[in-house]
Amino acid sequence: MLSRKNKLLLLKVLSLFSVVRGYNLLIIILAQYLASIYILAPDLPLRQVVFDLNLFVIVIASILVIAAGYIINNFYDAEKDLINKPRKTMLDRLVSQRFKLSTYFVLNFLAVFAASYVSFRAVLFFSAYIFGIWLYSHKLKKIPFIGNFVSATLAITPFFAVFVYYKNFETVIFVHAMFLFLLILARELVKDLENISGDVAQNYHTIPIIYGVGVSKSLIAVLMLLTLIPALLLIFKFNVGYMNYYFAGCILLFLLFLVILFKSRTRKHFLWLHNILKLVIVVGVFSILLINVDLVLNRIL
- Residues 175, 42 share a domain: no
The answer to whether position 2 is within a domain reads no
Q: Considering the domain boundaries, does residue 57 fall inside one?
A: yes
CATH number for position 289? 1.20.120
Total-model pTM: 0.90
pLDDT, position 14: 77
Residue 118 sits in the same domain as residue 148: yes
Mean pLDDT in consecutive groups of 10 residues from the start of the chain, 301 residues: 66 75 91 92 88 95 95 79 68 74 93 94 95 92 89 93 87 94 95 84 82 93 96 94 94 93 90 94 94 63 45
- Structural domain total, the chain: 2
Please tell me whether residues 19 and 149 are part of one structural domain.
yes
Question: Based on the domain organization, do 205 and 241 belong to the same domain?
Answer: yes
Domain, as residue range, for 208? 170-301
Shared domain check, 209 and 145: no
- 178 and 275 both lie in a single domain: yes
Say yes or no: 210 and 227 in one domain: yes
User: 120 and 98, same structural domain?
Assistant: yes
Tell me, what's the pLDDT at 250?
95
Q: Looking at residue 170, what DSSP letter applies? A: -
Query: Quick one: 96 and 178 in the same domain?
Result: no
188 and 278 together in one domain = yes
**Spatial distance between the Cα atoms of 62 and 115, rounded to a whole number of angstroms:** 9
Neighbouring C-beta atoms of residue 4, cutoff 10 Å: 7
Q: Do 62 and 38 belong together in one domain?
A: yes
The secondary structure of the chain in percent helix, strand, coil, rounded to multiples of 5, reads 85, 0, 15
